[in-house]
Structure 1
């Protein structure tokens, strides 16, 4: 894969992460998960084909700009999803504790 093709893959990743951010802002977790899978596929392609190469200054600047956009969107997505995931974990922990208490003490309540 040549440098221009790799830049095209970076652009696709940037486009998908922008869509992921919109999905996260809309609380569309299903779409976010789907887009995350699409993004992962492209990132795997980058990992497979990216290697040390000298890019002309303009392409290098473009690549850096794309990566900065991806990282900014990723940070914004994490800012939205991490508190949501923590709340979900707390709910699950609470539900599990309630269920354990019910199993432990609920049987003793029967008179």
Structure 2
């Protein structure tokens, strides 16, 4: 169950992820994403059936809103890099296919 405490943990991780994305630190971003996934998985498995108070619900909702805003920002940095990587891989695969099909005709 997601609680204000785990929401705050996730928010802290997403804030660090946004910094890593701004700095194009993809290794750090990946590590933080794995840590966030672990927190989410732990929260899902810790369902104890308790009900959050109205204040806890408001706090958690605020964390979730902030996380979603950070996620949007992170994507604005990550998506261009992913597209560039896709193009690079596509070109490499195509070049390899051409070499396999036609061999090295020039040499």
Which range, TM-score by smaller chain? 0.7 to 0.9
CA drift of 1:38 comes to 0.6
TM-score by length of 1: 0.84
CA drift of 1:53 comes to 4.4
Counterpart in the other structure of 1:71: 68
**Per-residue CA shift, 1:72-96, capped at 9, x if unaligned?**
1111111211121111001100111
Count of residue pairs brought into register by the alignment: 107
**Per-residue CA shift, 1:23-63, capped at 9, x if unaligned?**
00100000000101111100001111246643222211101
Structure 1 unaligned regions, length at least 5: none
> Aligned to 1:56, which of 47, 53, 56?
53
For 1:52 and 1:73, how far apart are their aligned partners in 2? 29
Structure 2 unaligned regions, length at least 5: none
> Aligned to 1:44, which of 41, 45, 50?
41
TM-score by length of 2: 0.87
For 1:19 and 1:92, how far apart are their aligned partners in 2? 29
Counterpart in the other structure of 1:19: 16
Moved more, 97-106 or 79-88: 97-106
What's the secondary structure of 2:104's corresponding residue?
helix
Q: 1:64 to 1:80 in 2, by over 3 A?
A: same
CA drift of 1:104 comes to 2.5
Moved more, 99-108 or 55-64: 99-108
CA drift of 1:106 comes to 3.5
